[in-house]
Each structure stands twice: as C-alpha cells, then as structure tokens.
Amino acid sequence: MQSNQEMKKIFTLVLSLATLMPAIAKDLSEHDANNVIGWAAVGKTTGGQDKNAVTVTNYNEFKTALNSKTRPLTIYIDGEITMEQRLYVKNGNLTIYGLPGSKLVNPKNTKKEYNNSGVLYFQDAKNVIFRNVVFSCGGAFDVGGYDCLCLESCDNFWLDHCEFYDGMDGNVDIVEGTDHVTFTWCKFGYNLPPQSTGKEEAADHRFSNLIGNNDGMSSDNGHLRVTFSNCWWSEGCVERMPRVRFGQVHVANCLYSSTVTNYCFGVGYMSKIYAEGNAFVSDKAKANIYKFPNDKAKEAHHFKLVNSVGAADLDIAKGTEQHFNPSTAYSDVEVYSASLVEATVSHYAGATLTEEQLTSRGKPTAVANVSESSEVRSVEYYTIDGVQLASPKSGITLRKTTKADGKVVTEKIIMK
C-alpha cells in the first residue's frame, strides 16, 4: 500500500507528463504498416532494436552518442538541437527517434559558413532507422553547401515519419552505392525563400532528393535501390522528387503539391523508376511530371508511371535493360487508390508520431536515463492514472525504482 506522499509524487509526475503530450495525437493511418517495408526490408533493416537507449538534448550529447562504440544503440532526441556543423557517422546498428516537438536545426546559410552547413552525413554505415526526426537547414542556396542528410556507401536504412526542410544543397542525397533504403510517411519541403547572391551561384536550389550523383559512376548500377511510400513533396520543392541515376526506385502513393514545380521525376542516366498510385495535385506538378536532366539521360532510362491522379500513364524506355518492377523484389508495400492519397498523406505524413507510437518490437524503452549508482531494492509499476500494476502493460507505464540508498527514481516506459 502506498503512502499519501508517494502517491502524490506519482500523480504529480502523471500531470507533468500529460502537459508534455500533444494536444491532439494522430492515430496511424490504416495504410501505415508501422514497420520496415520495401527495399529496406529486403536488406533486413533492424536498427538499434530499442536497446541501450540514451536521450540527448544538445549538440555535444548527440555527437557523443553517435560516436559511441556501444552497438546496438537507440538515441532519443529531446527538444531542439542546434548543430554546430554536420556530423559524420560511420557506425550503424542504430535507431534515432525524435520525441514529439524535437528538431535537428542548422541555420547556417552563407558562403562563409557553407563548410559547417548540413545536419548528418553517414558513410559506410549499415542498419540504421530514423523515426519522427525533423531536419531543418538554412535554405536552398547552393554555394557548395551540404544537404540535411547524405548517405554515402551505406546499406539498410529506414526513414519513417521524418521531415526534411531547406537543405542548402538538397534535402537528402543517396549516393555512391548506397542500397536498400526506404522512406515511409516522410515530408520534404522548403519554407525559406531562395537567396540571390550573384550570377556565379545557384540562388534557387530547392532540389529535394538526389539518388546517384555521377553519370560515370557505373558501379552504382545494381545499387541505389530505394522505396518511397506515402511521402509528400510539399510546398517549395522545385525539382528532384526524386532525381535518379542508375537506381531501381519505387514511388508509391506519394503526394506532389508544390506550386513551384519545375519537374517531379528526374529521369537520369540508367535510371529505373516505377511510380504507382501517386497524386499530382498542383497545376505545376501536373504539367511537369518528368524531365531528362541532361542529354546523357536520354541515352538509357526506364520510367513507368501508372494509376495516378493528375497524370496519364507513361511507359518510356531506352537502352537494353528491362523495366524494374518492384513486385519481383518484394510484396509488402501496400498500394491503394490514388484518389485517397491527397487526404491520407497530407494528414499523416511527417513527424506525427507520439511517444507511444515510436517504440517497436515489444521492448520497454526508458525515455529518461536512470542512474545505476546503487543497488535496486524494489521496482513497482503504475498506470498513467496512478493505479499499481503487477507488471508493465502495453502502452505507457510508470516505473518506480527504489534504490538501496533510499533514492527513488520514477520514469516513463513504453511497451508495444
């Protein structure tokens, strides 16, 4: 039986947690698998498996966690973190969760600052998951600056319910043999206006997603396999939604709504793109479905567009290779009617997940770090309403740990 003072502490924690929850929590869409699908599933992406969880609140803590040799590893981003410069990461077996309201921000946007622009650059990393992470950079102003996120020579990445805005060079680059990547329910956009700095630089470089960065990189053929499912290229996107060289890219049930679209699909050299069930809703998107970015692209390409809203079916090909058809690689990507895409994707895409929706695979994950400096005397569990439990239940549970030295630690854990 708990004392009145102990129960008061628990109910005080419940009240404080409730004030941190979003005013309106969105349920997952009925079309949301809430699990890795597409090319990342073919690559057997598991991330950090919700193990060895740490919470970071600033740049130095984030940098230390990313550079940690502890693997597998789970990182929770809590609050807004301003990046001093983009961080290079080579370690995989990692999951990064963005808690509601969190954000990775790098506002640098001048020629003088470009070497410190961008957020994250993964190189030779394998098996990484991002969920509910918001990337925000200083604006599309290509003076040699960097992307919000770049994956170079990586494998097995799943990015779910993430947002990418205002990358200096682009929002996301996938290059140099990176393989088995899936984006689900992600949102790409540009909130900041383009900057004019002189004719020698690209003042308007709101070019969102690049897959393959060199027509001469023949080693990319057979790699750069990427799935986009239920993603949204929103206002401000001008080009590269995505722009593809060599890759086998599947784009399903995605939304194109930017009113400044120059082209949606960049059908590049040796690209193999299969797009189905997408919705092109702005006049500019409807009028500019695809483009050959250069003459080289016209020599070899394969682009199939079917069952869209706002665009007629297309099947264009040149070269000796067969069309890529995702059904030969996987069958776990649901494709529903394109007539439902605008309402569905505009409502559910982006960093909309609650804390309870973030964790997976039935493992408890502490949102806060707990000191292990003294022996544990007892552990008790409570519902969010303060009712004591015999064991933790599905959803949010409060765990009260009493140490041998008398210290009491109360934390929130999440079970799926």
DSSP letters for 82-107 = E-SSPEEE---SEEEEE-TT-EEEE-
Compute the mean pLDDT over every residue in the chain, rounded to the nearest whole number. Answer: 86
Q: Mean pLDDT over residues 188-215, rounded?
A: 83
Most confident of 19-23, 115-119, 403-407: 115-119
| 367-405: burial string, b at 16+ Cβ within 10 Å, e else | beeeeeeeeeeeebbbbbebeeeeebeeebbbbbbbbee
Torsion 81-84-86-91 (CA) sign: negative
Listed in sequence order, the residues at least 6 apart from 219 whose beta carbon sits closer than 8 Å to its beta carbon are 177
Query: What pLDDT score does 24 carry?
Result: 40
pLDDT in tens, 28-42: 999 999 999 999 999
pTM higher than the cut 0.85: no
Nearest to 174 by CA among 232, 141, 128, 140: 128
Cis peptide bond upstream of 293, omega within 30: no
Interatomic CA distance for residues 169 and 153, integer angstroms: 19
Query: What pLDDT score does 15 carry?
Result: 32
pLDDT over 70 at 6, yes or no: no
Tokens coding 416: 């799926």
Query: What pLDDT score does 230 carry?
Result: 98
Q: Of 58-67, 188-197, 266-275, which range is least confident?
A: 188-197
Q: Mean pLDDT over residues 393-397, rounded?
A: 66
| In the chain, % of residues over pLDDT 70 | 80
46 vs 19, residue with greater confidence: 46
Model confidence at 25, pLDDT cuts 50, 70, 90, reads: very low
